Amino acid sequence: MKLNRGLRGAMEGLLAATLIFAAGPVFMTAAQAKAPASQAKKPAASTARKTATKKAPARKTAVRQRGQTAPTRERIVEIQEALGQQGFYSGTPSGKWDATTSDALRNFQISQGLTATGKLGAQSLQKLGLGSEITGKAAPVPQADTRPSVLSDSEINGPEPVEPASN
C-alpha cells in the first residue's frame, strides 16, 4: 500500500516523536544520576518523598586475555636453536622470525609428518621438545563410578509399591 509523501512524512515524524518522548525519562534519569548534588533540582518540601536511592553495584570488568601472542625474541632464539640441533636451521640464531626460520620450520614439519605451514604451532613445539607434554592429546574420559550402591538388591529390583484404591 503506497502512502502519499505528506502522510508518510507525518507518520514518520509521529513515530520519531513517540520514540523520543518514551526515551526522554530514561535519559533524564541518567542525566540526573550523573549530575552533582549541588546542581540537582530538589522537589518542593510538600511533594518531596524520602526514598532510599540504591546505587547499582560497580561492574567489575575482567581483563580479557589475548588468545595467542607472538613469541618473544628469546623464545624465537630457542626455536631456532632447536631447529639447528635437528639440522633444519643453519646460522646464528637471530631472534627474528624471518623467511629462513619459516622455511626451516616448514621442512621440520614435513619431516615429522605435520602439516607444513611454516607457522609455529603447539604440535611443532612439542616435536621440537619445547612444548607441553599433553599437546594433541584428547580430553580426559570420565570414569564410571565403581562405588557400591547404598540401596540393597531388593530395594533396586523389588516389586513396585501398590497404591491403595481410592473410593
Residue range 56-97, pLDDT digits in tens: 667 776 676 666 678 899 999 999 999 999 999 998 999 999
CA atoms within 13 A on the CB side of 65: 3
For cell 540537582, what's the residue?
40
Residue range 29-46: average pLDDT? 53
The string over 7-20, giving b where at least 16 C-beta atoms fall within 10 Å of a residue's C-beta and e elsewhere, is eeeeeeeeeeeeee
Which region among 41-50, 62-71, 91-100, 148-157 has the lowest average model confidence (pLDDT)?
A: 41-50
Q: Would you report the helix, strand and coil content of the chain in percent, each value rounded to 5?
A: 40, 0, 60
121-146 pLDDT, tens digit per residue, is: 888 998 999 887 666 666 667 777 77
Query: 129: left (phi > 0), else alpha (psi -120 to 50), else beta?
Result: left
* Single pTM value for the model: 0.43
CB 109 within 8 A of CB 118: yes
Alpha carbon distance 55, 139 (integer Å): 44
Could you say which DSSP state residue 51 is in? -
In angstroms, the first-to-last Cα distance of the chain is: 66
Cell numbers representing residue 20 in the block: 523520543
Structural domain boundaries in the chain: 73-128
